[in-house]
Each structure stands twice: as structure tokens, then as C-alpha cells.
Amino acid sequence: MARLSEAASMITAIQTSERILFLCWKYYSEVRNAEEDARQLLDKVTALNSVLKKLQALVDGPGAARLPTLDARQIEQCSSELDEIRQRLDPGTIRRLGRRFKWPFTKEDVDEKLATLEGHRKIGLESEISNF
């Protein structure tokens, strides 16, 4: 049952990260003065998405039964952070200035999110892969 929960959490995190990639690209291409922040967020989410997909492949692979149990809290924290970013980027909450979009993060917000995502990628999830 734990494996099913881990798999579901990873799938959620992967889907959320892919939605963020789409939304960041939209902001990157349409919002002036947000290009650098959006690009940095795109890069970090792309790297994290890659790690999540590798983990998912290991869990779904033929030797999955022999794998150690993943730290579900780490995956849930990652998924929660991604969902928070997605909510701020989501078109339902996009703030418009006339016909233009407004980037929903301050520079400090972006720096904080980048550090958190890098932490999930490096400290937590990549170490899970190396343990396999």
C-alpha cells in the first residue's frame, strides 16, 4: 500500500510540475520584465521534473519490489510546494494589466522558490535515486 501512495504522490508532483512548465513558458513569452525569473523557475522545475520521472521509472520498474521505501514526506512536501507555485501561476488567478499578464512573484519570492525546489531536487529526491 505504501508503494501505491508513493506512486500517486510522484504522479501528482510530475503532473503539477508539467503544468508549471506550461504556465511559466506562457509568462516568459508574454510578460515583460519577468523573463529572467520565469526562465529560472522553468530551469529548476525542469530539473526537478526530470528527477521525479526517474524516481517514477524506478518505482514502476521490474525491480520495484526490492527497492527501499521512499520518504513519502519528502515527495509530499515537494508536491505541496509545486502546487503552491502552480496556484500562483494558474490562469484562473492570473492578474491582468489591461491585456497583459502580470508576473505573480516578487524577486524575493522567486529566489525562495528556487532554493526550495533545488533543495527538493538535490538533498531529497536525488539522494533517493542514488540509494536505489
pTM of the model: 0.79
CATH number where 20 lies:
1.20.140
Measure the CA–CA gap between 72 and 78, rounded to whole angstroms: 10
Measure the CA–CA gap between 27 and 94, rounded to whole angstroms: 10
Q: How many domains does the chain have?
A: 1
3-state class (DSSP) for residue 102: strand
pLDDT per residue, tens digit, the chain (132 aa), is 456 677 788 889 999 999 999 999 888 888 877 888 999 999 999 999 988 888 888 777 787 666 666 677 888 888 999 999 999 888 665 555 555 567 889 999 999 999 999 888 876 566 566 655
Measure the CA–CA gap between 30 and 14, rounded to whole angstroms: 24
Domain limits at 48?
Answer: 2-131
Measure the CA–CA gap between 123 and 132, rounded to whole angstroms: 15
Quick one: residue 97, left, alpha or beta (phi over 0 = left, psi -120 to 50 = alpha)? beta
